[in-house]
Amino acid sequence: MMAGMAGYIVKNKMRPRPEWQKDAVPAADPSNPFRILPPKVGDAANRQPHPMIRKRFPIVMMLEPLHACNLTCTGCGRIREYESTITERVPLEECLLAVDECGAPTVSICGGEPMMYPQIGELVAGILERNKHIILCTNGMFIKKRIREFHPDARFFFNVHLDGLEKTHDICVEKEGVFAEAIEGIRTAKAAGFKVCTNTTIYKETDMREIEALFEYLEQFQVDGHQISPAYGYAAVDDREIFLTRDDIHEKFRDIERLARRFRINQTPIYLDFLKGERELPCTAWGNPTYNVKGWKGPCYLITDAHYKTFEDLMTQTPWESYGHGNDPRCEHCMVHCGYEPSAALGINAKLADSIKMISWALR
């Protein structure tokens, strides 16, 4: 997977598609309550975009075939933002067309709860036929029931959402028994030969010692890796207290290296440095484009200023340079992986020792 991804990135860095590199000017939009700020003046030296900013291409496509979910997690922006279309689904053929249109080598199927999508097995099979890698993000509760619809494949991962040990996780998802069912799902998938990772969101209240205890507990199931990311403060979520500022994030992730030495953390060491506050990265949201019932969501997985009909429109009509830390107030405390992990993978603000770090991480 790593070799294929590295080859894809090198190829696109050397020969980026010219039509995706044009800079769109922000259109005046009275219906948008958030002012898009132009780049800061008087700070020209620091505001020069990195050369990679002009080499845009997708790395991981986020495919949301539906937004319905059997849970109502406290920090979930999706079920709230898409409440009016929560019963709609992207037809199977349209999902596959979007995968082809985007061309990213990895597809993350998310939602909503994608295991509630009637043709989820066919969708996974169709994407695998296209020689892509798949990360199926799920709360784990339907794995046992639907496992027969899938076949183990080295390119296919279940990614089970777990925000803490039993008591904490059940509070986060607002339902008792979810942790136990998710663990049963992990056990079932591993026993059937599937690859399984976990996905943990870090909130203000998260005790990082509990996350370490969670990873220790998961060792018995031989899970294949852990994804960990700070929560983003969705406008649609009322409870602002649960989200972190940049300083909170630096503090929470201060000790992440120790965890990364003990457990298989899926995030790159470069992104972890960024979370610790030890390096700056610009947002490269086009690296993780999102497709859902309304079309291509721009600019990113988190903020919605527009939905575009085609992937080309998303790439060419989004004013990318208006977003990211320092450009838009909504991005001020965002350090989530879908905005910044592509920057790490693309080698933006790279340091001399990065190649060695990346190779040893990939080998692990």
The values of phi and psi at residue 37, to 5°, are: -85, 140
- Site for ligand SF4 (CB under 6 A): which residue of 302, 306, 314, 344? 302
| In the complex, least distance from residue 111 CB atom to ligand SF4, rounded to whole angstroms | 5
* C-alpha to C-alpha distance for 58 and 50, rounded to whole angstroms: 17
- Site for ligand SF4 (CB under 6 A): which residue of 300, 315, 344, 348? 300
Select the span of 46-54, 99-107, 142-150, 326-334 touching ligand SF4 (CB under 6 A): 326-334
User: x/- string (CB under 6 A) for ligand SF4, residues 214-253?
Assistant: ----------------------------------------
161 or 195: whose CB is closer to ligand SF4? Answer: 161
Bridge partners, 66 (sequence order):
89
Bridge partners, 160 (sequence order):
138, 198
- Site for ligand SF4 (CB under 6 A): which residue of 58, 140, 319, 324? 324
| In the complex, least distance from residue 41 CB atom to ligand SF4, rounded to whole angstroms | 21
- Site for ligand SF4 (CB under 6 A): which residue of 139, 199, 200, 292? 139
Q: Interior CA angle at 311 toward 306 and 316, to 5°?
A: 70
The answer to the question of residue 345 lying near ligand SF4 (CB under 6 A) is no
* C-alpha to C-alpha distance for 364 and 356, rounded to whole angstroms: 12
DSSP state of 294: T
**Contact, 136 vs 159, CB < 8 A?**
yes
User: x/- string (CB under 6 A) for ligand SF4, residues 170-209?
Assistant: ---x------------------------------------
The answer to the question of residue 116 lying near ligand SF4 (CB under 6 A) is no
The values of phi and psi at residue 347, to 5°, are: 80, 25
Three-state DSSP at 19 gives helix
**Contact, 126 vs 92, CB < 8 A?**
yes
66 or 134: whose CB is closer to ligand SF4? Answer: 66
Q: Report the 10 Å Cβ neighbour count for 293.
A: 20
DSSP E strand stretches across 66-127: 106-109
**Contact, 328 vs 321, CB < 8 A?**
no
Task: Tell me, by CB under 6 A, how many residues bind ligand SF4.
Answer: 27
- Site for ligand SF4 (CB under 6 A): which residue of 124, 202, 272, 331? 331
74 or 155: whose CB is closer to ligand SF4? Answer: 74
The answer to the question of residue 112 lying near ligand SF4 (CB under 6 A) is yes
* Residue position matching structure tokens 């019932």: 293
| Residues numbered 303-322 forming contacts with ligand SF4, rule: CB under 6 A | 303
- Site for ligand SF4 (CB under 6 A): which residue of 58, 65, 105, 111? 111
* Residue position matching structure tokens 């018995």: 220
* C-alpha to C-alpha distance for 220 and 307, rounded to whole angstroms: 43
The answer to the question of residue 76 lying near ligand SF4 (CB under 6 A) is yes
Select the span of 40-48, 95-103, 117-125, 336-344 touching ligand SF4 (CB under 6 A): 336-344
* C-alpha to C-alpha distance for 348 and 359, rounded to whole angstroms: 16
| In the complex, least distance from residue 316 CB atom to ligand SF4, rounded to whole angstroms | 17
